[in-house]
Amino acid sequence: GVGTILGGSKSGSVFAVEDAKEVGSVVEEVVLLEMMAQAYACLRGYEDRLAGRPPGMGFLVGVRHFVCHRRVGVSEEVVINVATTVQIESFFLAEATVKVVHETVAQAELKIWLPPNEG
């Protein structure tokens, strides 16, 4: 599947740090990676609901080619795009990007394992 999520951070968040090079607080790079993983989880849960199933459990088992082009300010709204590129049984590869307006600020390939439902 393919999906888009709108996100952001709040001032004073434990994930925000002051950056001497930037004006104000920025979110840590790892937060952008977590946003990508959560966006993919939202997509999979949405697809499960559309199919009449309860949302399944999934695990981020790997990340490749993570690039953070710049840090994101806590006041900036981000758009996270995710897309499944490969499925092999219960393993999935997904491309993920984080954008501020039209600027790509981070990207990665996610490896996800979705255990089969034992229902």
Domain boundaries, the chain: 2-113
**Which of 3.30.420.40, 3.10.129.10, 3.40.50.720, 3.90.550.10 is the CATH number of 2-113?**
3.10.129.10
CA Rg, the chain, in Å?
15
Token output for 115: 């255990």
% of residues, the chain, pLDDT over 70 = 87
How buried is residue 105: exposed, middle or buried, by Cβ count under 10 Å (0-12/13-18/19+)? buried
Residue 15 has pLDDT above 80, yes or no: no
pLDDT band at 87 (very low <50, low <70, confident <90, very high): very high
pLDDT band at 8 (very low <50, low <70, confident <90, very high): confident
The pLDDT value given to residue 74: 86
The pLDDT value given to residue 25: 84
The three-state secondary structure class of 31 is: helix
Beta bridge partners of residue 86, listed in sequence order: 93
Cα 75–Cα 40–Cα 11 angle in degrees, nearest 5: 15
Task: Report yes or no: 96 and 39 within 8 Å, Cβ to Cβ.
Answer: yes
Residue 119 has pLDDT above 60, yes or no: no
Token output for 119: 């229902």
The pLDDT value given to residue 27: 87
Residue 77 has pLDDT above 70, yes or no: yes
Output 33 or 27, whichever has higher pLDDT: 33
Output 27 or 109, whichever has higher pLDDT: 109
What average pLDDT is seen over the chain?
A: 89
How buried is residue 49: exposed, middle or buried, by Cβ count under 10 Å (0-12/13-18/19+)? exposed
